[in-house]
Amino acid sequence: MQSSATLSLSQSAAASTIPKSNYTVNHSLPFSPSKPINLRFCGLRREAFLGFSSLSRSQPPQSKIRSDKINSPISASLSDNGSAPKSFDYDLVIIGAGVGGHGAALHAVEKGLKTAIIEGDVIGGTCVNRGCVPSKALLAVSGRMRDLQNEHHMKALGLQVAAAGYDRQGVADHANNLATKIRNNLTNSMKALGVDILTGVGSILGPHKVQYGKLDSPGNIVTAKDIIIATGSVPFVPKGIEVDGKTVITSDHALKLESVPDWIAIVGSGYIGLEFSDVYTALGSEVTFIEALDQLMPGFDPEIGKLAQRVLINPRKIDYHTGVFATKITPAKNGKPVTIELIDAKTKEPKDTLEVDAALIATGRAPFTDGLGLDSVHVERKRGFVPVDERMRVLDFKGDPVPHLYCIGDANGKMMLAHAASAQGISVVEQLTGRDHVLNHLSIPAACFTHPEISMVGLTEPQAREKAEKEGFEVSVAKTSFKANTKALAENEGEGIAKLIYRPDNGEILGVHIFGLHAADLIHEASNAIALGTRIQDIKLAVHAHPTLSEVIDELFKSAKVMDKPPLRNSFHLNLFAINCCVAAPSRYMFSHYWWLRVLIKLKRASSNFNLLTEVLILWGRLKLMLQAQ
């Protein structure tokens, strides 16, 4: 469960108690702060203006958050799926049953909302059926094949293995069976909790109104107090590329593994292209990368990308062309191979023509938002994406939030990852049930499941240094190697590094990047630290089991050099003790109200400890009530 707190302005009386969550602290000030103050933890951020006169439930000035569900049941009845308001069929209707829609639906039912989900294709969306899930099945096979084919690696472990082989159809069946199993699991989980699954293509007819059914038919109409768009994305195919699904394919086709070509060109060297290069080379293909930018893996931290190229590309049957566009790709026909025409990305002059057995288009994904009926609520898409604010509220053509309409996942383009879509959906449901949650996208990790794996969270080093230059702080970098880790050496997998980008003045974690064995699993300690606002000086004290790969991260944080300062906790407690001592004192013995105000502002700015800040605010409320009584 994620939670957060907000500070905002008001002039209501002080309260003597604070709710455990979703509270707003209000105080009157003789001045008006110019910038919102952020509190970040649990991956969520709440923003408002700082003030100091009361502790009360209230809404941020820039949002209209429903609070009518705060005291709703924790879980919906399996028989009636909650109880919708009399004027609507449902509390919540979700268009799209991918990972994002599924996560939102389950959380909504848990919060007592009567929920329906509309799906025009199959439950699970891209991730389960044509993305994350089947691709991991293929990558599991490629990992085993690499181990068996690496004679030096096997010999170092004292193993002798005969020539390894594979059955293409068996591999394809493994991927398909896994997708089917996960899809059934998702469907059953929603049915078990009482989510109504409505089959058909969904579109918005107007405020609170959704139509679903077959294309080119009237369809059924349902009403809902709130609507979430979660329609996902489809492979993006640039102009000039002819996809036939056989020799020129997208990731949708590649995951079926209907063939393993001798030579395949992969257009794009991001996550998708890199993972498929791992699969194809393990199964015996030669690969040629075609990348428009001047370097491979442009989305990764440059240092990690350079090491990954040395390990994942250079030793394998892979060559590449960088700084070029594939302006025309023609499928194989009449015994002729696939032809790819390349031009220089900068000068646009013809550069080369390739002839290969197949071509995989891995140039990213495009939002699937056609036919949603957004015109009915005055929404204009931007390059196909549905515009949203930080709370995932859909914005109209004027930039104003459309009441009761939200969009999550790939359709809004904020972060095109399945788990990001799910987190956004959960955040929206939190808002609908009275808690103003804003997701901190910098705390969301990403991973590339090659062998070895790559993972990351937060900023790359260039991004961090750019931010530091603008905001006026220093950036430091710490690194550790897998070659110093006992578990990695026991596995004979010492290739890899972990990299920490941080602020040496206060210990803030700006980014973590890992390349090595099980990097995708190791990244979560760092992502949770960023989400919780944990500083390096605190996480250094964490204990890790030995010998485990997690010690790579342990050593990484321990190697960081943070400026020595007296522990903030001690100075906080001294100040809190002083405030407590003065609570019962007559106001004439105090310096002034404004002196205490400055003390509290200083405490707030220094503190990343939520419970301690809460204690400060309780004491201030008690103090003011006492002064008013005198």
Active site residues: 546
Strand ranges, E, within 292-362: 318-322, 324-330, 338-344, 350-356, 358-361
* Tokens matching residue 462: 């260039």
Buried b (16+ CB within 10 A) or exposed e, 599-615: bbeebbeebbbbebbbb
* Secondary structure class of 350 (helix, strand, coil): strand
Quick one: CA dihedral 328, 332, 337, 338, positive or negative? positive
Residue 143's nearest CA partner among 451, 479, 541 is: 451
Quickly tell me which residue has 């009761």 as its tokens. 404
In SS3 terms, 67-119 reads as: CCCCCCCCCCCCCCCCCCCCCCCEEEEEECCEHHHHHHHHHHHHCCCCEEEEE
Assigned token pair, 237: 């195919």
Distance CA 82, CA 432 (A): 15
Beta-carbon contacts of 106 under 8 Å, excluding residues fewer than 6 positions away, are 189, 190, 193, 195
Residue 203 DSSP SS3: strand
**How far is it, in rounded angstroms, from Cα 550 to Cα 539?**
13
**In angstroms, rounded to a whole number, what is the distance separating the alpha carbons of residues 85 and 106?**
19
Q: For tokens 């009636």, what's the residue?
A: 80
Q: Please state, in angstroms and rounded to a whole number, the distance separating the CA atoms of residues 544 and 290.
A: 42
C-alpha separations of 292 from 117, 267, 272 in Å: 39, 9, 15
Tokens 């590309």 label which residue?
Answer: 313
Which tokens is 497 given? 């590094």
Alpha helices in 533-567 (DSSP H): 536-539, 551-558
CB 110 within 8 A of CB 72: no
* Alpha carbon 627 to chain centroid, angstroms: 47
